[in-house]
């Protein structure tokens, strides 16, 4: 027993005989190790990161893109996104110090990396999906498609529509008229006062305000002209690609993020950022992207009612994608009036005619009709004489109507097949959809707090979204596999990537001799030989490896490189 009131820490001035190293502060099971090994296993040249393979030159060498990617991955996994905050973390957070080996890039360097590598970040995101596929973490049978609005780096006021522009011009005209009248009255009063007292007339402040309003009006008129010339409905002055998007009465100035989520472990397998607030028309594009990412011949896609569109259903069918989307109730007005809707008329495919609730036939009319949506339709009409005598006349026709017409899209059979599927399995599929599609957005928006983008323009926004999606997938895979199994599987994957890197490098140098192919000269750190990935070979989970030829060769290679590096630097490098 001691008589101390509290636990007491170390004396800050105390000198240790064997001081701890940074490695001691990061536990063996710390997820930061997963980031380190993952980025080290990436082929940054193939992913086309800038400054990869730098051979140095005059001045300071650049930061290794791998280190900056590690910093961003760590930041996005820990809800730190801004470049200034990442800069601070690199100086005070021991995990980041370990991850970057003490490097502390400035915020401009960090921000420029995200700006300049948007396409490469998208490629890393795609690579991760491929990796998850190789690790057997994707089911490849069913995906749920969903969309969510994210705020852009733009305010609602910065986005101009023709209506808003006209309102602003009208308000400015009113202001200009009021100021002009006030200025004239002021001038007259001041001239009279000046004549009486010999003091020069003032009023510059009001004149300046009037000039500013005129300038503002000219700018709005200029923007309206640009808007008319663009053929678009909106003009964004801050972020050129952000748009006013509205859903369920909510208006957001930003982007619509679309995702396809695999059924097996709720991983995002495909995603896209668009600025169209309407999900109609996105179904086929997203399902096709998911199908390609999964590398499957056929796929089932489920989505909510906002995705319903006959043409995209048809496109899905043609691409061997089976869609499940709730059918919208488009005949509410007729049903509300107690009248028969199109659903009450049965199509007889063999006879190519419709039968009405009274059993009468509606036969096809000559020619086609182009609907408002652009789709071609065939009209089917009943006979006037039959309808006149029909006892259901009041429930079927409008007041002055003499016959009933039904429009049938030329590819209506697609919709009928889809309706039959929904009648059979729709409820179960919609339950699965809800459990799948809302998980990633719920996690990203509510847990991580990612509701807006920090960058502007499609290219950069898509790059930032890729980081968000990558971090969602990354943390999910870590949770599913655990760190040891992740390291083991990644090392196996990393070896394959390393061999691809070696081969490319050898080919580039024109060195095709057998010896060099087996033991190419060790590249410098900056060019990116990633020994950390192979260091994972010695992790306790390495027993999970299959002793393949590639693993054996890679081990030999590591030994050879380590020996050479040790001779060169006098240190152990592996
Ligand atoms: S009014 Fe004509 S189309 Fe309507 S139910 Fe009667 S017969 Fe059929």
Q: Could you count the other beta carbons within 10 Å of the beta carbon of residue 20? A: 8
Residues in CB range of 548: below 8 A, 6 or more apart: none
Q: What's residue 309's pLDDT?
A: 93
pLDDT tens sequence across 175-197: 888 888 887 887 788 777 777 66
How far does the centroid of ligand 1 lie from the alpha carbon of residue 311, in Å?
A: 30
How far does the centroid of ligand 1 lie from the alpha carbon of residue 357, in Å?
A: 7
Pocket test for ligand 1, best of 353, 386, 406 (most atoms within 8 A of CB): 386
Question: pLDDT confidence of 536, banded at 50, 70, 90?
Answer: very low
Ligand 1 atom closest to the CA of 387, numbered from 1: 2
In this prediction, residues 313-338 reach a mean pLDDT of 89
Pocket test for ligand 1, best of 334, 345, 357, 381 (most atoms within 8 A of CB): 357
- Across the chain, mean pLDDT equals 83
Task: Tell me which of 462 and 568 has the higher pLDDT.
Answer: 462
Q: Could you count the other beta carbons within 10 Å of the beta carbon of residue 482? A: 13
Q: What percent of the chain has pLDDT above 70? A: 82
pLDDT above 80 for 562:
no
pLDDT above 70 for 496:
no
Handedness of CA 246, 252, 256, 262 (dihedral sign): negative
How far does the centroid of ligand 1 lie from the alpha carbon of residue 336, in Å?
A: 19
Pocket test for ligand 1, best of 358, 361, 389, 395 (most atoms within 8 A of CB): 358
Q: What's residue 120's pLDDT?
A: 95
Residue of minimum CA distance from atom 4 in ligand 1: 396
CA dist., res. 249 & res. 234, Å (int): 19
Cα-Cα-Cα-Cα torsion 274, 278, 282, 283, nearest 10 degrees, comes to 150
In this prediction, residues 234-245 reach a mean pLDDT of 92
- pTM as predicted: 0.79
Ligand 1 atom closest to the CA of 362, numbered from 1: 3
Cα-Cα-Cα-Cα torsion 184, 188, 190, 193, nearest 10 degrees, comes to -170
Residue of minimum CA distance from atom 2 in ligand 1: 387
Q: What's residue 508's pLDDT?
A: 45
Grouping H, G, I as helix, E, B as strand and the rest as coil, residue 511 is coil
Q: What's residue 58's pLDDT?
A: 66
Pocket test for ligand 1, best of 356, 397, 401, 405 (most atoms within 8 A of CB): 356
Residues in CB range of 166: below 8 A, 6 or more apart: 224
DSSP string, 112-156: HHHHHTHHHHHHHHHHHHHHHHHTT----SEEEEEEEEEE-SS-G
Question: pLDDT confidence of 507, banded at 50, 70, 90?
Answer: very low
Pocket test for ligand 1, best of 344, 360, 362, 400 (most atoms within 8 A of CB): 360
Task: Tell me which of 259 and 59 has the higher pLDDT.
Answer: 259
Task: Give the length of the chain.
Answer: 574
Residues with CB under 6 A from ligand 1: 356-358, 360, 382, 386-387, 390, 392-393, 396-397, 404
How far does the centroid of ligand 1 lie from the alpha carbon of residue 402, in Å?
A: 9
pLDDT above 90 for 1:
no
DSSP string, 45-97: TTTT-TTTT----SSSPPPPHHHHHHHHHHHHHTT--SHHHHHHHHHH-HHHH
Ligand 1 atom closest to the CA of 397, numbered from 1: 1
How far does the centroid of ligand 1 lie from the alpha carbon of residue 360, in Å?
A: 6
pLDDT above 60 for 546:
no
Q: What's residue 440's pLDDT?
A: 94
How far does the centroid of ligand 1 lie from the alpha carbon of residue 362, in Å?
A: 9
Residue of minimum CA distance from atom 7 in ligand 1: 387
Q: What's residue 545's pLDDT?
A: 34
Q: What's residue 15's pLDDT?
A: 84
Q: What's residue 547's pLDDT?
A: 35
Alpha carbon distances (Å) from 439 to 62, 220, 302, 432, 511: 39, 42, 14, 11, 50
pLDDT tens sequence across 70-84: 999 999 999 999 999
How far does the centroid of ligand 1 lie from the alpha carbon of residue 364, in Å?
A: 15
Residue of minimum CA distance from atom 5 in ligand 1: 358
In this prediction, residues 326-347 reach a mean pLDDT of 85
Q: What's residue 497's pLDDT?
A: 58
Q: What's residue 558's pLDDT?
A: 52
Answer for the pair 34, 479: CB distance below 8 angstroms, yes or no.
Answer: no
Q: What's residue 417's pLDDT?
A: 95
In this prediction, residues 229-240 reach a mean pLDDT of 89
Task: Tell me which of 551 and 182 has the higher pLDDT.
Answer: 182
């Amino acid at each position: 027993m001691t008589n101390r009131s509290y636990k007491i820490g170390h004396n800050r001035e105390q000198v240790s005989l064997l001081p701890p190293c940074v490695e001691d502060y990061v536990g063996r099971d710390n997820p930061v190790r997963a980031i380190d090994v993952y980025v080290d296993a990436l082929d940054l040249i193939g992913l086309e990161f800038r400054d990869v393979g730098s051979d140095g030159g005059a001045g300071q060498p650049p930061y290794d893109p791998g280190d900056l990617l590690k910093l961003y991955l760590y930041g996005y996994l820990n809800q730190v996104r801004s470049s200034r905050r990442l800069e601070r973390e690199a100086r005070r957070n021991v995990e980041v110090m370990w991850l970057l080996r003490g490097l502390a890039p400035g915020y401009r360097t960090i921000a420029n990396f995200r700006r300049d590598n948007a396409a490469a970040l998208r490629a890393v995101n795609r690579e991760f999906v491929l990796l998850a596929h190789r690790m057997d973490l994707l089911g490849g049978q069913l995906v749920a498609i969903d969309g969510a609005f994210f705020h852009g780096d733009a305010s609602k006021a910065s986005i101009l529509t023709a209506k808003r522009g006209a309102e602003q011009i009208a308000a400015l005209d009113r202001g200009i008229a009021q100021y002009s009248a006030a200025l004239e009255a002021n001038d007259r009063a001041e001239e009279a006062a000046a004549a009486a007292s010999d003091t020069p007339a003032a009023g510059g402040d009001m004149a300046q305000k009037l000039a500013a309003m005129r300038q503002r009006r000219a700018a709005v008129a200029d923007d309206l002209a640009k808007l008319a010339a663009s053929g678009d409905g909106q003009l964004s002055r801050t972020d050129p690609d952000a748009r006013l998007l509205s859903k369920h009465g909510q208006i957001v100035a930003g982007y619509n993020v679309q995702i396809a989520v695999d059924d097996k472990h709720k991983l995002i397998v495909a995603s896209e950022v668009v600025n169209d607030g309407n999900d109609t028309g996105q179904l086929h594009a997203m399902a096709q992207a998911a199908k390609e990412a999964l590398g499957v011949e056929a796929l089932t896609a489920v989505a909510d009612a906002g995705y319903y569109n006959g043409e995209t259903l048809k496109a899905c069918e043609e691409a061997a994608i089976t869609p499940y989307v709730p059918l919208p109730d488009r005949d509410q007005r007729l049903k509300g009036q107690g009248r028969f809707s199109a659903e009450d008329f049965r199509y007889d495919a063999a006879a190519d005619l419709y039968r009405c609730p009274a059993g009468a036939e509606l036969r096809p009319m000559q020619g086609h009709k182009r609907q408002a949506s652009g789709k071609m339709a065939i009209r089917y009409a009943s006979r006037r004489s039959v309808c006149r005598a029909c006892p259901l006349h009041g429930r079927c026709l409008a007041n002055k109507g003499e016959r009933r017409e039904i429009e049938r899209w030329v590819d209506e059979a697609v919709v009928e097949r889809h309706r039959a599927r929904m009648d059979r399995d729709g409820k179960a599929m919609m339950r699965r959809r809800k459990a799948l599609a809302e998980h990633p957005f719920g996690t990203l928006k509510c847990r991580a707090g990612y509701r807006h983008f920090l960058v502007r323009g499609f290219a950069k926004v898509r790059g930032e979204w890729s980081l968000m999606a990558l971090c969602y997938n990354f943390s999910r895979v870590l949770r599913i596999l655990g760190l040891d199994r992740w390291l083991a599987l990644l090392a196996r994957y990393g070896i394959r990537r390393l061999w691809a890197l070696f081969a490319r490098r050898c080919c580039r140098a024109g060195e095709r001799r057998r010896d060099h192919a087996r033991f190419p000269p060790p590249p410098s750190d900056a060019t990116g030989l990633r020994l950390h990935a192979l260091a994972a070979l010695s992790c306790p989970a390495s027993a999970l490896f299959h002793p393949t030829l590639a693993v054996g060769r890679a081990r030999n290679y590591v030994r050879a490189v380590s020996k050479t590096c040790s001779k060169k630097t006098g240190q152990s490098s592996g």
